[in-house]
Amino acid sequence: MNAEEERQAGLAMEGDEDLAGPPTKQELDLNQFLPYRLNSLADRISQALAELYEERYQLNIAQWRVLAWLSHCDELTAKKICAYTNMDKARVSRAIQALEERGLISRTPAPEDQRQQDLHLTAVGRKLLTKLIPEAQAWEAELVATLTAGEYRDLLNVMRKLERQLERIGDKG
């Protein structure tokens, strides 16, 4: 197994000797299986990026997403965030709670419907994002640095196709 095959097999070990053989029989090669490959890749990207929020800003992914959406349309409700991000409402609720406790966002009952609450970034929250967002974007830029413009565009295109196809097949029904 050469280095390239080893990389493809998902092997990322340092001092290893006896992880010898490549697959020999023919049944299902997960490395040829798109759902697995895509998930592995996305997980690793997510996790690497999560360290940026987590270690340096004590934000988990859910919290980061709430903040990012608020940076974007600074007047939202939990429900809208659920819809935009596909996150469970409990997860969103807890993220909001944590962010409010830290003083990064504020919430006020919506005047037209007291069940919902209008969410806003506080000055502190906005300031944090002023630092964090460029870092995240820089990280992303580095990630895609080796892709050509065409490759990047095509990737987004194919992802859109897959999303559309997902909705046709099972995705929740």
Residues that bind DNA (CB under 7 A): 15, 60-62, 77-80, 82, 87-97, 107, 113-117
Token pair listed for 85: 């991000």
CA dist list (Å): 139 to 58, 107, 159: 18, 31, 20
The partner in contact with residue 13, picked from DNA, a copy of itself, none with C-beta cut-offs of 5 to 8 angstroms by kind, is a copy of itself
Question: Which of 161, 131, 155 lies closest to 143, judged by CA?
Answer: 155
The partner in contact with residue 69, picked from a copy of itself, DNA, none with C-beta cut-offs of 5 to 8 angstroms by kind, is a copy of itself
Token pair listed for 68: 């990012």
From the CB of 170, what's the least distance to DNA, in Å? 13
The partner in contact with residue 62, picked from a copy of itself, DNA, none with C-beta cut-offs of 5 to 8 angstroms by kind, is DNA
Token pair listed for 75: 């007047």
Residue 26 per-residue DSSP state: -
Map the footprint of a copy of itself across residues 92-151, applying CB under 8 A: 129, 133, 136-137, 139-140, 142-147, 151
2: contact with a copy of itself by CB under 8 A: no
Token pair listed for 70: 């608020």
From the CB of 153, what's the least distance to DNA, in Å? 30
In single-letter form, the type of residue at position 2 comes to N
